Chain A
Amino acid sequence: MATLTLLQAVNDALKTAMRDDPSVVVFGEDVGPKGGVFLATEGLTKEFGANRCFDTPLSEDGIIGTGIGMALNGLKPVCEIQFQDFIFPAFDQIVSEAAKFRYRSGGQYTCPMVIRTPYGGGIRGGLYHSQSGEAYFCHTPGLKVVIPSTPHDAKGLLLASIDDPDPVLFLEPKALYRQVKGEVPEGKYKVDLSTLRTVREGRNVTVFCYGAMVPVCERAAVQAAEKGIETLIVDLRTLLPLDEEGVIEAAKQTGRVVVVHEAPRFCGFGGEISAIIAENAIEYMEAPIARVTGFDTPFPNTLEHHYMPDERRVLDAIEHVHNY
């Protein structure tokens, strides 16, 4: 087994899928000979040719719109949106078209496609290279929303997404691209969509997180352990459809819950987790649910390290719900 960064794992997954299935095509802005601005698609044009990995005009609406047409006509498109911040011109195509084709056609037409895009802060990218827009998409029936946090999961989840019969938005935590390394099996394997991952067992407090917040929560849990608090960490991995049973189970195990995400709080994914727990396990709760999130503001630049939840803020919330 090779030790890869998350970025290398994405690249490995794309190569694996393209070798496995000739209908897989990869396209987007600068993904061809350059290999993408983060190099996620490095070497693909060389290995698979310019009709399987190619650059497109600068038009997100065009990338997703044509991707849908390809999916409807026998190809397996894996589209790249250079930064999640630039996905909004394609919002209509994703929400009104890709996500609704199966339903509106009574199952006659389907859009098996993957939209990969780097999301999140921590790279000093300011308002337009740092956002976490998952909540907009989780409000879209018909779409799947997947966010890996380890190289192993990045490859396995991406391969599962490419094989999935429905459109998948695959959000890659760009802050972790080169920060995390891990063992990645060779060849094809899949990580089941809609199954959460227990990162760390603990009996005192449950922390729900995903993407780039997972290592932050892990560090907070180490510090909490030094204070005698055992933290159960759950990496949600697939936000839509969510492993609701797993969430309820993990909440019941400790009765004390913290939810962590970078995105703004109001109508954020943490609200959904809180509501599911309130509806299904309120009688198990020993403390109010705490949310640690970005502010309800645009994403800052100079002060981004204060905007993004860090282990200090997560630890504070863990202690708060623990001592309640």
Chain B
Amino acid sequence: MNPLIDDRLAELLFRSLRLGDLADLPAFADHDPETFRLYVDACRKVGRQVLWPTYPTTDAEPPTLQDGRVTLHPETLRGFEHVRELGVIAATRPEAVGGQQLPLAVATLAHAYLMAGNLSTAGLAWLTTGAAHLIEAFGEDALKATFLAPMMSGRWTGTMALTEPHAGSSLGDLTTSATDAGDGSYRIRGAKIFISGGDHDASENVVHLVLARIEGAPDGVKGISLFAVPQRRPAAFGPNAADGPLEPNDVHVAGLIHKIGWRALPSLALSFGDEDDCRGWLIGAPHRGLPQMFQMMNEARIGVGVTAAATASVAYHEALAYARDRTQGRALGAKGGDQVAIIEHPDVRRMLLRMKAIVDGSLALSVATARFSDLAANGPEAERDRAHAILDLLTPITKSFPAEFGYEANVLAVQIHGGYGYSSEYVPEALLRDQKLNSIHEGTTQIQALDLLGRKVVAGGGAALRALNETIEAAIADARKASVDEAIIAPLEAALGEVGKLTMELGMKGAGGDLDGMLGHGVDYLTLFSIVVIAWQHLCLATTARSEDSDFHRGLVQSARYWAATELPRVALLAERCRVDRSYLELDPSWL
């Protein structure tokens, strides 16, 4: 049976990130390390026992669209019922809105098991958390009273309806319109595409968080507002709205997207206001839609990161079990004798170690970033700004590294399975398809690169980068004290210096007006920065595990050594490309 996530790693993260200490913060005073562990345990059980067994069928038999309504697979409904009962949706929200005020770091670790079990089912809850959180943070009291309780309990689910056919990465160009109806609501009109969870039969209602432009609003990103647009609108607003009658709200399913992954979760083309009777309620201030959305973005992007880590983790465990079991060939130089398990072949172990390094690093980073989010919001007053700066800086890396490198891990899982990996009878190919989305939604990798280099590292005169540097240097000092192998530490130190130097140089280019020169290699910059950040994560894991003498600990040290020897040297290479390579900057599109 696939464990989905290595429990020993989860336990180690508890210690290395001192998650138990979060219970000492006043915001989490209702908790103690035991409630954290029990919740991780509960999610682990549901992930393994309920969701994972549904994964192959729900992937093979996607939802159907008939007469404008979407029907989910019965197994998805059953799985979602368990996820809802666990209390996943409101886990991190305060008690006042029906939540349990769990630290995001603990929730991130716990929910990794659910995402690993069946990301489409768990995704429905995750989308709802995001949508409800926006209403909680910015909505007026009457809207909160109406929407929050049914959403937090999962009676109603939520969506993020941002993307339009002509406005994906460039949300500033969206055209869905909102006209003041004079009764506190707006009439919404427009078309959205790819809206996940946009219609289904797992809940009584769906609340779309729609980005639209109020008539007469300024052009571009400064003219976008956020609306709550229920699929069916309550006849009366207030705490009992969900128990009263619901009327159609002129939101229609225009099409079901046929997808290569996340197949159990419907993504839809939606049209709003075909009959000019679609009502939306403004959330927050007019024209502040995007900045509001961005305030919630860190959380959503950490969610993508941990989902990608989980998807790679499942593939790793699948490949590991297969490699131990499958016999093929003999040791190099051996003549005759029985065939050996393929894990005996050095290159199969190379693939497994690479996967392990990617998976462990991704999961550790996701939880670590979530912890900075907890400290930024609820930490000791004096530490908040610093935690916030590091959180902002790490978010694009946490969003993109697990997705991009995780995809590579998913490819390796197929490779280790040989021809069987290429067959849909085996699970790695499905995980591969699922993983690909993570580099596309919630801002593509390219957008993350622009965010990191164009915004995050230069913000506050490089304050975030300095704060992160200090944090990593402290980890290095701890590692030295614990006599961790220099071969792991020294290359990290050197690469960290390289990042600082390169950032300065690119910043100068930008300041001198050469934006292409600064940002044109943004993804290379993102990659090299990520390699360093992951090396730091491996160092922390190896340092914490030092007191143990176990196979697990030896495996961690080996991953850290692998990363230091194989990936860290690439930092200098990529940095050089950022400095001098202009091959594609000077490539004329007509030459292709």
Same complex: no
Residues of A within 8 A of B (CB): none
